[in-house]
Amino acid sequence: MPLRSPDQYRAGLRDGRTVYFRGQPVPDVTTHPVIGIAVRHASIDFEMAEDPQHRDLAVIENGEGAPYSRYYKLPESADDLLKRSALIERATALGNTLVVLIKEIGTDALFGLHLIAKQVDAAKGSSYLGRVQDYYRYCRDNDLALAVAQTDVKGDRSRGPSEQEHPDYYVRIVERRSDGIVVRGAKCHTSNTTHVDEVIVLPTRAMSPADADYAVAFAIPVNTPGLKLLASPYGSAGQEERSEFEFPITARHKMMETTTVFDDVFVPWDRVFLAGETEFAGPVALGFVEFHRFTAISYKLPLVDALVGAAQMMADYNGISRAAHVRDKLIQLVSYAETLRGLTHHAALRARVGELGIAVPDALTVNMAKYHFAHHYHEAVAMVQDIAGGLLVTGPGVEDVESEAIGRYFTHYYGGRAGVGGRERLQAINFVKDLTSSEYGGYQEVLAIHAEGSLEAEKLMIARAYDGQRALQLVRRMAGLEA
Amino acid sequence: MPLRSPDQYRAGLRDGRTVYFRGQPVPDVTTHPVIGIAVRHASIDFEMAEDPQHRDLAVIENGEGAPYSRYYKLPESADDLLKRSALIERATALGNTLVVLIKEIGTDALFGLHLIAKQVDAAKGSSYLGRVQDYYRYCRDNDLALAVAQTDVKGDRSRGPSEQEHPDYYVRIVERRSDGIVVRGAKCHTSNTTHVDEVIVLPTRAMSPADADYAVAFAIPVNTPGLKLLASPYGSAGQEERSEFEFPITARHKMMETTTVFDDVFVPWDRVFLAGETEFAGPVALGFVEFHRFTAISYKLPLVDALVGAAQMMADYNGISRAAHVRDKLIQLVSYAETLRGLTHHAALRARVGELGIAVPDALTVNMAKYHFAHHYHEAVAMVQDIAGGLLVTGPGVEDVESEAIGRYFTHYYGGRAGVGGRERLQAINFVKDLTSSEYGGYQEVLAIHAEGSLEAEKLMIARAYDGQRALQLVRRMAGLEA
Amino acid sequence: MPLRSPDQYRAGLRDGRTVYFRGQPVPDVTTHPVIGIAVRHASIDFEMAEDPQHRDLAVIENGEGAPYSRYYKLPESADDLLKRSALIERATALGNTLVVLIKEIGTDALFGLHLIAKQVDAAKGSSYLGRVQDYYRYCRDNDLALAVAQTDVKGDRSRGPSEQEHPDYYVRIVERRSDGIVVRGAKCHTSNTTHVDEVIVLPTRAMSPADADYAVAFAIPVNTPGLKLLASPYGSAGQEERSEFEFPITARHKMMETTTVFDDVFVPWDRVFLAGETEFAGPVALGFVEFHRFTAISYKLPLVDALVGAAQMMADYNGISRAAHVRDKLIQLVSYAETLRGLTHHAALRARVGELGIAVPDALTVNMAKYHFAHHYHEAVAMVQDIAGGLLVTGPGVEDVESEAIGRYFTHYYGGRAGVGGRERLQAINFVKDLTSSEYGGYQEVLAIHAEGSLEAEKLMIARAYDGQRALQLVRRMAGLEA
Amino acid sequence: MPLRSPDQYRAGLRDGRTVYFRGQPVPDVTTHPVIGIAVRHASIDFEMAEDPQHRDLAVIENGEGAPYSRYYKLPESADDLLKRSALIERATALGNTLVVLIKEIGTDALFGLHLIAKQVDAAKGSSYLGRVQDYYRYCRDNDLALAVAQTDVKGDRSRGPSEQEHPDYYVRIVERRSDGIVVRGAKCHTSNTTHVDEVIVLPTRAMSPADADYAVAFAIPVNTPGLKLLASPYGSAGQEERSEFEFPITARHKMMETTTVFDDVFVPWDRVFLAGETEFAGPVALGFVEFHRFTAISYKLPLVDALVGAAQMMADYNGISRAAHVRDKLIQLVSYAETLRGLTHHAALRARVGELGIAVPDALTVNMAKYHFAHHYHEAVAMVQDIAGGLLVTGPGVEDVESEAIGRYFTHYYGGRAGVGGRERLQAINFVKDLTSSEYGGYQEVLAIHAEGSLEAEKLMIARAYDGQRALQLVRRMAGLEA
C-alpha cells in the first residue's frame, strides 16, 4: 500500500469509533466543530508527504519496497535521529508551534517495544518481539496514525496500582482467554486518540509483583468495542468563531486529549506486548520514554524559536530594540532556545547503537535538554510578555478592528515605531497573546511541566544516566584519598 | 447623600455612555452578557458596605458628617494604610482573587493629585489643589465609582509625545477655551471604565518642554460626549456558558479593559488638574503610582494565598503531600506569599506623613514588594501547575461530568487519595486551571508584569527611593578611605 | 559589679584555660598572634559601652539596679527587639562586617532556656527555671562574655545519637553524681570559645527516648578542667603580616571557632539545664534558634550593606555607574539588602509576647528573612565581583605599592575614572577582595549557608510557623468546595 | 629541535627577566617559594609529553617533520578541536582543577592572528600573515611556553584609550622606527608571564580612528629590556607551609598573574602584528577570544567535575546521600557540569572550517557554554558547600591532626557514616575547602566571571553570533504577517 493522502486519512476516521464531546456522542470527528480543527491540523502529516518542499524529509524512498513515512524509520545511526528530529521540527513549525503527533509518539512506543520485547523474550521465553515487529510493519505499510495511552488515572500518587482505594485506578487485565485478554480501566490525557487509527497502550510506571494484572501493554484499533474516548473541551471555548487575526495559532491548529476508557475491551494475543511480567512494566515505560523525550525536545524547537522571534518582533514594533533590558532579555531567550537545540542535536550525535541495530539518543543529554526546556519555560514566557506589553490582554477583537464605526481608532492609535501600522502591530500582538497569554499559553505551560514526564522524572533520569564514578574517582585522586 | 446600594450603583450606569463590544454598541452595560458579569463583580464593593460582616472595614463611620466608603479615607497614619490594605485584600478575596477596583485606583489618583497639586500651585501660582479637593469631596459624598486612564497608546516607546510619527500617540489638549479645554487621543488598558461613574485621566510619563499640550490631567463623567469606550473581548469567549464547576473564578468574576478614546472631549476648568505644566507631568504620574503600587501589593495577597492554598489542596488530593519535592515547593510558595505580605504591611508601618497630613507608604518597601511579587509570579505558577498535574488541561467539561451516559466514568476514575472523590477532585482541579492555566491565568501573568508599572519601572523606583549614601559611607569607612 | 572595661575583659581571659592552635598549647590567648586579633575584635563590645556615641544603645541605664549591657535585656516588646537588633547591627558595622558575638549568642541561649525551662518544670516537676534565672543574673551582673556550643560532631547525619558507630558523636552524660554530672564528647564550630568567660552547651536536635544521655544542656566557665578548646586555623595564614591596606577587614577583625572537647567534664547541678528529658531536647534547640536567627539576620545587615556599598563604590571608581547592566545589578543588590532589613524589622514588630513576658520575634518572618539572605548570598557576591573586576585576584601587595622601585607603576596605572587615583582604587579593590574573594569571603559564604541552621532548617521552620489552614480555607471557599 | 624536557623548560626561565614579588626583585623564578610552585605546576605540560599515558594526546607525531606539542596543532577539523579540548581537559585534571595555560592561551592567540592578519593584509596590503606564520613556526618548533597580555589597565571603563585622564591607560606605540616600534603602558592580569618564554600582546577592545597608537599587537621574549613583570601575591599567604593534607590543590598547584609593564619596550618589525590599523583592533581581540573561550570551556570541565565529585563524596561521608534535597542538588550539579560538557563538544562538532583551512569552534555554542558555566558557578559552589557542611571553615590544621596531644580527638570525633574515619573525612573536607571556600575558591569565582571576557561580553557575542532572521521569519509567517 502506498502512502495515504490526507483525504484517505480523514476517511479512515469515519469507522464507528465511540467519541464524546461535552457529554454528546460525536458521530463524525472530521466534521465536528472542535475535533475537526484537530483533524485538519493532523492532516499536515499527510500533506507534507505530498509536498515537494517537504517530501525528502517526510518520506523514506531509499528502502527496500515501497516508500513510507520517515516517522516509521527505525533509527540506526545519529543521522537517522537527526533527520527524525528535523522532520518533527519542520512539521511542528507548519503547525505554528503545535506538534502534529499522530506518528511521532506511536513510533517512539514501537521503537521502545522492540528493545524491551527482546529483553522480555530472553528472560521469559515469550515471543513478544515477533508480535511487535509484525505490528510495526502493519502500521508502517498502511501509513497509519497512532496514539499512545500511557498515563493511568492513578488515584493516590503515593501508592501502587494494587494499593489503591479501588482496583481500577490503573488499567488492568480482568480476564485472560485463549484468544486474548480483556482489559478494564482508564488512561488520562491521551493525545489525539479521537483522530488516529490505532492506540498503543503502555504501563505508566514500574510495578511490584502484586501488580501482575496491571503490567499490560497492547495495541488496538480505535473503533474496538468497549473503547470510549471522552474528549476534553479544554481550550475550545469559541473555537468556531476564532479568526486568524485574533487567534493566529489556535484558529487552525489544535490537539485533542481524551480520557480513554477501556470498558472490558478485548485484545487478541497478537496485539498483546506485555501481560503480567511485572518486572518489565518499568522498562516498557522507560523504553518508550527514552525515545519520546527526544521527540519532545525536537518538537519544542519551533516553540522556543517562536518565543525568540516574538520577542524580536515586538521589541522592534514597540521601538525598544535598543533598550538595555530588552537586549538582555533577547539574549537570554536566544540562549534558552539555542541551548535546547544544541543539546537536542548533541543527544543524536552521541546516540548509542545497541540491540537490533537501533540507535538510542543519549539519555543523559536528552533529559538535560528536556529539563532545561521545562525548568525555564515560564521564565521565558515572562520575558516575552514583558517585551510585548500589556496590550496582550486588553486588545480589540477582530470585529472591532473591522468595524466601520470604530475600526479606524485601532488603526490610528495602535501603531508602533514609525512605519508600523496599528493593524500590523495588533496582528503581531495577537500572535504573542495566542502563544503565551491564552488557554493555549496555559496549555503549553502545563505541557512544559508534565508532558513526557514531569520535571522530577527528568531529574531522576539524569541521576540514572550519569556515571557518577568518573567524577568521584577524579575527586578522590585530587584529594589525595587514593594512590 | 448616604452610601449607595448595589442597585443604585447599577442604575447609575444606564446613563447614555458610549461603549462598544466586538464592534457593536452596548446600550446597557448591566445586562450585557460579558460586561454584565463585570458589573456584578464590581457590585461586591457596595455589597460589602451593607454586609454586617464587612461594614466595619468597608465604611468609615467616625468622621464628621455622613459615613462614607473607607476607600475614600485620606490616609493619615500607618493604621489608615493598614486598614485600607485590609479592605482591598478582603474585597479581592470575595472576588475570588480578582480585585474589585472601582474605588481603589481612583482614590489612589486622588491622593496623589492632592500632593502634586499643592506643589504645582506653589511653583506656578495656580489653584489646582482646591479643584482636586472639591472633586474628591464630590466623589466621596456621592459614593462614586472611578476609573483611572493613564497609559497612553504610545507609538514608539523610545520617543516622547511630540517626537512620534503622528501627534496623537499621547492624549493632548487640542484647544484651550475660556470655559475649559478640549482633549484628543486615546488611553489603553483602562480598567473597568465601562462600569464606573467617573474617569480620572493622568499623564503616563515625565515630559519635556516640547510636550506642553500633552501634560494634562483631568476628570470627567463617563457619559461625557466624545468619550468612547472600546471594550476588549479578551478572556470572554464562551463567557455566557461558563459553569461554576468548570470556571469557579471566571464564571462570576470579571474585569473589563477599554481602549478609551477622547474624540475632542470638552473638560471644564474645574475638572482640569494639570494643563501644560510639563515639569509636573512626571510627578503627577508618580504621585499616583506611589499609592497605587501599595494598592496593588494589597490586592495581590489573595492571589498569592490562592497559589499556596491551591498547592496544598492538590498535594493533599493527589496523595503527594509528603513527597520531598512537593514539600519544598510548598515552602517556597509560602515564602513567596508571606514575604509579599510582610513587606506590604511593613510599607504601611514605615509610612511617611508629610504634606497635607497625608501618609505615604514607604516607596522603597512598596516597590521591593511589587518587584518581589512580579519577578517570581510565573515561577510560583509553575510550582502550582507542577503539583496539580496535567489534568489541568485535559479534564472534562461540566456536561461530561453530569452526563448520564458517561458521567460515572469521571466520578469513578478521577478520585485522588482515599476519601477524595472524582467530582471533588475535578472541582479542585478546575479552580487551579481557572486560576493558572487559562485565559484568566494568562491575564494574571501579564498583569503581574505590566500592571501598575513594569518590572523595569519598579526597579527604577527602588533605585530612586534608596539612600545610597549610607551604604557608601559605611564601606568607605570600612575600607579605610575616610578618616 | 559595674560594666567591665576592655582591659578587665582581656584580663579575665588569662585564667588557665586549655587552648590549642596548630597543635600547640596557647598559654595566653590575648597575646597570641592569631587569637589576639580575635580578642581585640571582641573588645568592640566593651568599648561601645564606654563610648558616648554608642552607650545609649549598648547599655541599659533605666533598669532597677546597676546599668548593664543591653544584650542581656530580656526582650519584653517589639521595641526591645528593635533596639537589640540595632545594637547588633551597630557592633557588626564597627567590626567591618564581622559580628562580635560574645554576648549576642549567649543571651539568645539564655532567653530560649527561660522559656523551655518553664515548660520542662511544668511537665516534669523539675526546677530548671530557677537555675536559668540565677545563671542569667550572674552573667548579666558580671558582664560576662559567653559562647554557645551546640553543633555536635554528628558522625552519620542520617542517624540519631544512639545509632552511631561509636557513642561519642554527640555530647552525653557519662556519669550522674549527687553534686552534678560528668559529660563527654565534642561540639564543633563553636564560635569565640577561646576568648569568652563561659560556654553554654545545648543539644543540637530533637531526640528519641533512646537518647536520654544525650539530652543535656548546661553551662560552665571556660577554664573548667577537662574542657579543651582546639582552635581552627582556618583563615589565619599570614595573619601577622596582614596590612590594613591589603586586608581592610581581616587585618583587625577575626572570629575563632573551636572543636570543643569535653573530656569527662564535671558540671554542678546548678549549672545543668536539661539532663535526660529527651522530649525537650528539640524544644531547647529550637528555643535558642528562635532568638538566634533574629540575631543572625540583624548582624547580616552590615554585611549586605557592605555588598551594596562596595558595588556602588567600584561602579563609580571604574566609571561604569551608568552602564545598564551595572545599574540593574545595583538595584538587585539594594533589593536584596533592604528586603532583609525590612523583614528583620518586621519580625520584631510582629513579635509575640508570651510566657514570662518575653517577646519572641515572629518565627515565620525571621526564617523567611534568614532564608532570603542565605539563598541569594552567593548570587549577591557574584554581582559585586562582576562590578569590581578581575583585579580582585591579580592586584599588588602592600610592599609593591610602597616600593620605591615599582610603586609608581601602581599609582599611575591603576587609577579609575578621572579623579580616582591608583592607590585609592587599589584600596577599594582590596576591601572588596577581603570581603568577597578571600578566605574571609569563603568563610562568609559557608556561614551564609550553615550558621544558625542550614537552608533546609530554615525551610522546615517556615513550614512549621506557617498557618496553612488560612490559605486552604480560602481556596476551598473560592473553589466552591465549601458552603 | 625536539620537544623540550621539564628541565629544559625550567632552565629557559633563568634568562635575566625582570620579575618583582612583594616589592622585591626575583632573581630566579624557578626557586622562588611562591613562583616556584607555579613553575612546577606548569611543568605538567612537558611531563605529559614524556608520559606514555598521555603522549598520544599531548604530542602530534604524524605531521611532517619532528613531533610537536598538540597545543600547536592548527585545528583543521572538528576532530582536531575535540582532541585539543581533551588535551586541555586532561592537563587541567592533572593540575587538580587548575589549568596549566602555558601553551593553550598562546596558541589561541596565534590561531586568531592567522585569520585576522590575512584580513588586514587583504585590506591594507600589509604582510602580517607571513610574520605570524614565521613566529608560529618558531614557537612550535622550539616548544616554547607563551603568555598572552591583553587586558589593559583601562582607567575609566566608559571611555576609549584616547579619552582617558592620561594617555597610558592602554598600551600604545610611542615611537615608530625603521627597525621596529617602541611601546609603553601596562597590561593587567596576565597569566603566567613570570614563567613562560614569550609574551604575545593583543589589543583589548575595538578602537576608533583616534586610537591609532593603541591599535598594536606584537610578541616579545620575556627577557626583553624594559619589560617588567610585577607578580600579584594574591593567594600566596603561607604558601611555603601548605601541606597536601590541608591544601590538596594549592600546596602544589598555582597560577601567577602579573601587572605587565612596558617601559618603552622595543619590538622589531618582524614581531609586530598590528600597528595602527584601528579598524582591526576589535577583530584581533575577538579572533583570539573565539578560540580562547573554547579553551576556557574545555579547562573548566575538571573544575565542574570536581564540584560534582566533591558533592557526591561529602554526601556519602556525611551519611546524607539519600536525603531528598541532597539528591536534588547532586542532580542539579550533574546537569550543570554535563550541559557544559555537551555544549563544549557540540561547539567543536559544529565548527566552521574557513580561511586558511582553520576550523573555528561554533561561536554561538561556545559563548552559550561559557555563559552557562559562569552564570551558575556561584550557585554550584553554594550547593557543594551546603552538602559538605560548616566544617569547611572550622576544621583543624595538619599540626592538630598529627599532634600527639590532641590528634586523637580529630580522628575520633570527625568520622562520618560508619566506615569513614576522621582523618579521611577531614582530608575530603579539606579538598572541598581548598576548592570552594578559600582564596583559591575566591580566585575561581572571580575567574568564572571575568576570565576570557565578562558575562556581559559573552552575552554580546551570543547576540552577534545568533542569526535572528530565522526566528523572525518563522514568527512572521506564523502570525500571518507574510504570505
User: Measured between alpha carbons, how far is C329 from B302 in angstroms, rounded to an integer?
Assistant: 31
Mean pLDDT score of chain C? 97
User: Measured between alpha carbons, how far is B256 from B254 in angstroms, rounded to an integer?
Assistant: 7
Nearest-by-CA chain C residue for A322: C324
> Region C221-248: what's the mean pLDDT?
96
In chain C, count of helices (H) and strands (E)? 17, 14
Give the model confidence (pLDDT) of C370-401 as tens digits: 999 999 999 999 999 999 999 999 999 999 99
Contacts of B328 in chain D (CB under 8 A): 324-325, 328
Nearest-by-CA chain C residue for B328: C459
DSSP per-residue codes, C409-428 = HHHHHT--STT--HHHHHHH
Assess whether pLDDT exceeds 60 at residue D176. Answer: yes
Assess whether pLDDT exceeds 60 at residue B71. Answer: yes
Q: Report yes or no: D349 at the A interface, CB cutoff 8 Å.
A: yes
B61 band by pLDDT with thresholds 50, 70 and 90: confident
DSSP per-residue codes, B25-64 = E-S-GGGSTTHHHHHHHHTHHHHHHH-TTTHHHHEE-SSS
N-term to C-term CA, chain C: 66
C-alpha cell belonging to residue A119: 529483553
Contacts of B409 in chain A (CB under 8 A): 186, 228, 230, 259, 261
C63 band by pLDDT with thresholds 50, 70 and 90: low
Interchain proximity B462–C331, CB inside 8 Å: yes
* Among candidate residues D190, D180, D184, D158, the one with its CA nearest the CA of residue D170: D184
Q: Three-state SS for B299? A: helix
For position C62, what pLDDT does the model report?
66
C-alpha cell belonging to residue D348: 567543536
Count of CB contacts below 8 A, C vs D?
272
C-alpha cell belonging to residue B127: 489653584
User: Measured between alpha carbons, how far is A444 from D474 in angstroms, rounded to an integer?
Assistant: 18
Q: Three-state SS for B268? A: strand
* Helical segments of A350-454, H only: 363-388, 398-401, 407-413, 422-436, 439-450
User: Measured between alpha carbons, how far is C114 from D334 in angstroms, rounded to an integer?
Assistant: 46
Give the model confidence (pLDDT) of B83-114 as tens digits: 999 999 999 999 999 999 999 999 999 999 99
Give the model confidence (pLDDT) of B310-322 as tens digits: 999 999 999 999 9
For position B349, what pLDDT does the model report?
97
CB-side exposure of D19: number of CA atoms within 13 Å? 29
Q: Report yes or no: D365 at the A interface, CB cutoff 8 Å.
A: yes
Q: Report yes or no: B22 at the D interface, CB cutoff 8 Å.
A: no
Mean pLDDT score of chain B? 97
For C368, the closest of B342, B350, B471 (CB atoms) is B342
Put simply, the chain D residues between 55 and 94 with a CB less than 8 A from any chain A CB are: 93
Contacts of A459 in chain D (CB under 8 A): 328, 331
Nearest-by-CA chain D residue for C409: D261
Give the model confidence (pLDDT) of A208-255 as tens digits: 999 999 999 999 999 999 999 999 999 999 999 999 999 999 999 999
Give the model confidence (pLDDT) of C166-192 as tens digits: 999 999 999 999 999 999 999 999 999
Least confident range from A466-475, C199-208, D363-372, D450-459: namely: D450-459
Nearest-by-CA chain B residue for C421: B481
Question: Phi, psi at residue C358, to the nearest 5°?
Answer: -90, 130
Q: Three-state SS for D126? A: coil
Question: Phi, psi at residue A184, to the nearest 5°?
Answer: -140, 150
For position C2, what pLDDT does the model report?
75
Give the model confidence (pLDDT) of D95-145 as tens digits: 999 999 999 999 999 999 999 999 999 999 999 999 999 999 999 999 999
Question: CB neighbours (10 Å) of residue A76?
Answer: 14
For position D453, what pLDDT does the model report?
87
User: Measured between alpha carbons, how far is D386 from C48 in angstroms, rounded to an integer?
Assistant: 35
> Region D384-390: what's the mean pLDDT?
98
- Kindly state the percentage of chain B with pLDDT values over 90: 97
DSSP per-residue codes, B139-158 = HHHTT--EEEE--B--SSTT
Q: Report yes or no: A383 at the D interface, CB cutoff 8 Å.
A: no
For position A453, what pLDDT does the model report?
87
* Helical segments of C14-60, H only: 35-42, 44-50, 52-58
User: Measured between alpha carbons, how far is C10 from C32 in angstroms, rounded to an integer?
Assistant: 12
Contacts of B445 in chain A (CB under 8 A): 381-382, 385, 436-437, 441
Question: SS3 sequence, D218-281?
Answer: EEEECCCCCEEEEECCCCCCCHHHCCCCCCCCCCCCCCCEEEEEEEEEEEEHHHEEEECCHHHH
Q: Three-state SS for B327? A: helix
CB neighbours of C102 closer than 8 A, spacing ≥ 6? C42, C45, C145, C146, C147, C192, C195, C196
For position D482, what pLDDT does the model report?
80
- Kindly state the percentage of chain C with pLDDT values over 90: 97
Task: Find out whether C470 and C402 touch, Cβ atoms under 8 Å.
Answer: no
- Kindly state the percentage of chain A with pLDDT values over 90: 97
Element (H, E) at A231: strand A227-231
For position A61, what pLDDT does the model report?
85
Assess whether pLDDT exceeds 60 at residue B1. Answer: no
* Among candidate residues A323, A412, A326, A336, the one with its CA nearest the CA of residue A371: A336
Contacts of B235 in chain A (CB under 8 A): 393
User: Measured between alpha carbons, how far is D410 from D401 in angstroms, rounded to an integer?
Assistant: 6
Give the model confidence (pLDDT) of A419-440 as tens digits: 999 999 999 999 999 999 999 9
Q: Three-state SS for D200? A: strand
- Work out the minimum CA distance from A443 to partner chain D, whole angstroms: 18
Q: Three-state SS for C261? A: strand
User: Measured between alpha carbons, how far is A384 from A433 in angstroms, rounded to an integer?
Assistant: 10
A132 band by pLDDT with thresholds 50, 70 and 90: very high
Put simply, the chain C residues between 112 and 141 with a CB less than 8 A from any chain D CB are: none
Contacts of D319 in chain C (CB under 8 A): 155-159
User: Measured between alpha carbons, how far is D216 from D273 in angstroms, rounded to an integer?
Assistant: 7
Q: Report yes or no: B302 at the C interface, CB cutoff 8 Å.
A: yes
For A319, the closest of B158, B419, B439 (CB atoms) is B158
Residue type, A133: Q
Q: Report yes or no: D172 at the C interface, CB cutoff 8 Å.
A: no
Nearest-by-CA chain B residue for C316: B472
Torsion angle, CA of B105/B108/B112/B114, rounded to 10 degrees?
A: 110
Give the position of cell 572550622: D394
> Region A171-191: what's the mean pLDDT?
98
Mean pLDDT score of chain A? 97
A65 band by pLDDT with thresholds 50, 70 and 90: confident
User: Measured between alpha carbons, how far is B413 from B394 in angstroms, rounded to an integer?
Assistant: 14
Distances (CA, A) of C254 to C43, C44, C101, C479: 11, 12, 11, 56
Task: Find out whether A98 and A300 touch, Cβ atoms under 8 Å.
Answer: no
User: Measured between alpha carbons, how far is A245 from A426 in angstroms, rounded to an integer?
Assistant: 9
C-alpha cell belonging to residue D473: 521569519
Q: Report yes or no: B483 at the D interface, CB cutoff 8 Å.
A: no
User: Measured between alpha carbons, how far is D157 from D126 in angstroms, rounded to an integer?
Assistant: 31
Assess whether pLDDT exceeds 80 at residue A63. Answer: no
Q: Three-state SS for A258? A: strand
Question: CB neighbours (10 Å) of residue C62?
Answer: 6
User: Measured between alpha carbons, how far is B256 from B272 in angstroms, rounded to an integer?
Assistant: 26
For position C65, what pLDDT does the model report?
73
Least confident range from A186-200, B149-163, D448-462: namely: D448-462
- Burial-class residue C2 by CB neighbours within 10 Å (0-12, 13-18, 19+): exposed
- Bridge partners of residue D237, in order along the sequence: none
For position C1, what pLDDT does the model report?
56
Give the model confidence (pLDDT) of C432-459 as tens digits: 999 999 999 999 999 999 999 889 999 9
C-alpha cell belonging to residue A183: 482489559
Task: Find out whether A222 and A17 touch, Cβ atoms under 8 Å.
Answer: yes
The 10 Å CB-count burial string (b at 16+, else e) for D449-459 is bbbbbbbbbbb
Interchain proximity A397–B232, CB inside 8 Å: yes
For position B398, what pLDDT does the model report?
97
For position C118, what pLDDT does the model report?
98
Put simply, the chain C residues between 227 and 286 with a CB less than 8 A from any chain B CB are: 244-245, 248-249
For position C482, what pLDDT does the model report?
81
User: Measured between alpha carbons, how far is C152 from A356 in angstroms, rounded to an integer?
Assistant: 56
Give the model confidence (pLDDT) of C71-92 as tens digits: 999 999 999 999 999 999 999 9
For C382, the closest of D325, D378, D441 (CB atoms) is D378
Q: Report yes or no: A424 at the D interface, CB cutoff 8 Å.
A: yes
User: Measured between alpha carbons, how far is A116 from A122 in angstroms, rounded to an integer?
Assistant: 10
- Work out the minimum CA distance from D364 to partner chain C, whole angstroms: 21
Element (H, E) at C297: helix C281-299
Neighbours of chain A (3+ CB pairs under 8 A): B, C, D
For A248, the closest of D427, D462, D480 (CB atoms) is D480
User: Measured between alpha carbons, how far is C115 from C133 in angstroms, rounded to an integer?
Assistant: 11
Question: Phi, psi at residue C273, to the nearest 5°?
Answer: -115, -5
For position D62, what pLDDT does the model report?
66
CB neighbours of B125 closer than 8 A, spacing ≥ 6? none
Put simply, the chain B residues between 316 and 335 with a CB less than 8 A from any chain A CB are: 318-320, 322-323, 325
User: Measured between alpha carbons, how far is B249 from B433 in angstroms, rounded to an integer?
Assistant: 10
CB-side exposure of B329: number of CA atoms within 13 Å? 27
Q: Report yes or no: B189 at the A interface, CB cutoff 8 Å.
A: yes
Q: How far is CA C39 from the centre of its chain?
A: 16
